[in-house]
Amino acid sequence: MSNTAITVAHGDGIGPEIMAATLHILKESGALLDIETIEIGEKVYLSGNAAGIAPESWKSLRRTKVFLKAPITTPQGGGYKSLNVAVRKTLGLYANVRPCVSYYPFIETKHPVMDVVIVRENEEDLYAGIEYRQTQQVEECLKLISRPGSEKIIRYAFEYAKKFNRKKVTCFIKDNIMKQTDGLFHEIFEEISAEYPNIEGDHWIVDIGAAKMADTPEKFDVIVMPNLYGDILSDVAAQIAGSVGLAGSSNIGENVAMFEAIHGSAPRRAGQNLANPSGLFLGAMLTLVHIGQTDVAEKAHNAWLRTIEDGVHTYDIYKEGVSKEKVGTREFAEAVVARLGQKPETLKAVEYKQDTAEAAKEKPIFSTPEPQKKELVGVDVFLDWWKGKFYGVANELGALVEAVNGDGLKLQTIANRGVKVYPDGFADTFTVDHWRCRFVPDAGEGNAIDHQQIISLLLRFDDAGLDVIKTENLYNFDGKHGYSV
């Protein structure tokens, strides 16, 4: 087998120490690597690079397509962009995968039997970063969920389950409220789940699902989620496993993958040979599996489990009565090296089959949609309108907006933050300065309109002195509502 080129960044704070420890174990385990080292983080930020990564470093990432990254320190103060976000977005790393495992009874945990993998969508949802201040009182953030984006992540989760012999994939969504965005994610989950009859597919509304995960994580196996829920719940899962300092994660794209520890650069612990290298080490195990060096990963990972089991612990997991020896970063790495070839006796040994590499790459990862018939059937016009009162003004606005009816369009309803307030609203409904006026055809709902009608409607709004802040077109797709009713 020939060497595989990977890009390595040593990072800031405790980064260089835990990377040195990790690379030492990899080398002694027989990993076949050609390492390209790049500089990222604090120094690069402070040299005037707003993303914390130099242009030539991107070339290394594009060349090797594999990135093992130590934590970095983001300098205080404004103007610095998140390096992780830049790398994820630039390289299209759509899947964030975080195994959360407890190591009872050797490491304290509330959940002795926990082995959950969180698969988080990494590119869309409320994290597209599209936000607007629309009125003095209201800010907006767009939540975007796409069919191909959801197919990519959900298929990845099922392929991961298949390759790693997992029995169940659970989807967390909030589609009782967000019927279209989370509804789409759920619908695609059901479609893809049907293609994997040997893997149980299961779904929970995210609130109760999260509560169950925190209470009985042993009932879960792989959990796939849109970006925001995944961001929050992957931290919860790592924390309740008892092991934030012990978790690694991967960020997977179609071409490039990045691996890291989930913790930060712990600057107060830096340079003291104190830090636990295990999170980054486990990130490195994900790297080896990804590049197909599964035998090396199995050997190193089992030696690490044996070290944990033998009670050789860094300060962060050391516990009197359970741990046997308190060690520093370097000594911990040496203890793992000394156990290469051994397996844990109480904890479950890991087994990596050769074909576990590059889990999601066998199938086309998203489909090209069949064209649908798209019809424009109305428009929502959003207004900034303020009468100095939070109650009892909707009928006054209703009269003003009725006056712009015409040219085949008529006002159907006015809503304030999703609550209908006109016609027939209640005077005691709280309203702010942000109003949605829905216009449908005179000929009745579902009939087609054209863009010219919308343009002339907006001109009439302008003539009436009303401040339009945005419009949303109402479309039907193959005769089905494409908007909330």
Q: What residues make contact with ligand NAD under the rule CB under 6 A?
A: 14, 18, 71-74, 84, 245, 260, 263-269, 275-276, 279, 316
- C-alpha pair distances (Å), 306 with each of 167, 312, 329, 348, 368: 26, 9, 16, 10, 47
CB of 87 to ligand NAD, least distance (A): 10
DSSP 371: P
Classify each residue of 203-234 as buried b or exposed e, where b means 16 or more C-beta atoms within 10 Å of its C-beta: bbebeebbeebeeebeebbbbbbbbbbbbebb
Chain centroid to CA 47? 30
Nearest approach, Cβ of 277 to ligand NAD (angstroms)? 7
Q: How far is the CB of 261 from ligand NAD (least distance, A)?
A: 7
Q: Which is nearer to ligand NAD, 279 or 378 (CB)?
A: 279
Q: How far is the CB of 397 from ligand NAD (least distance, A)?
A: 46
Give the DSSP per-residue string, 311-355.
TEE-TTT--TTT-SEE--HHHHHHHHHHTTT---SSSPPP---GG
Q: What's the rounded Cα separation, in Å, for the pair 382 and 293?
A: 56
Nearer to ligand NAD, 9 or 474 (CB): 9
* Residue (23 or 206) nearer to ligand NAD, CB: 23
Nearer CB in complex with ligand NAD: 42/175: 42
Closest approach of ligand NAD to the CB of residue 67, in Å: 12
Give the up-direction half-sphere exposure of residue 12: CA atoms within 13 A in the CB hemisphere.
19
Of 69 and 299, nearer to ligand NAD (C-beta) is 69
Closest listed residue to residue 221, CA positions, set 103, 96, 347, 99: 99
Of 406, 411, 484, nearest in space to 452 by CA: 406
Name the residue nearer to ligand NAD (CB basis): 120 or 438. 120
Between 17 and 159, CB nearer to ligand NAD: 17
450-457 long-range contacts, Cβ below 8 Å, gap at least 24? 450/376, 451/376, 453/407, 453/408, 453/409, 454/379, 454/409, 456/406, 456/407, 457/379, 457/381, 457/404, 457/406, 457/407, 457/409
Q: Sort 5 into a burial class: Cβ within 10 Å, 0-12 / 13-18 / 19+.
A: middle
Q: Give yes or no for a contact between 157 and 99, defined as CB atoms under 8 angstroms apart.
A: no
Nearer to ligand NAD, 18 or 457 (CB): 18
Closer residue to ligand NAD, CB minimum distance, 201 or 248: 248
Q: How far is 386 from 331, CA to CA, in rounded Å?
A: 66
CA-to-CA dists, residue 299 to 9, 66, 292, 366, angstroms: 24, 21, 14, 35
Asked whether 415 and 423 are in contact (CB, 8 A), the reply is no
Q: Which residue is nearest to ligand NAD (CB)?
A: 264
For residue 219, give both structure tokens. 């009932």
Q: Which is nearer to ligand NAD, 266 or 284 (CB)?
A: 266
Give me the DSSP letters along 66-110.
EEEE---PPPSSTTPPPHHHHHHHHHTEEEEEEEEE--TTTS--S
316 or 445: CB nearest ligand NAD: 316
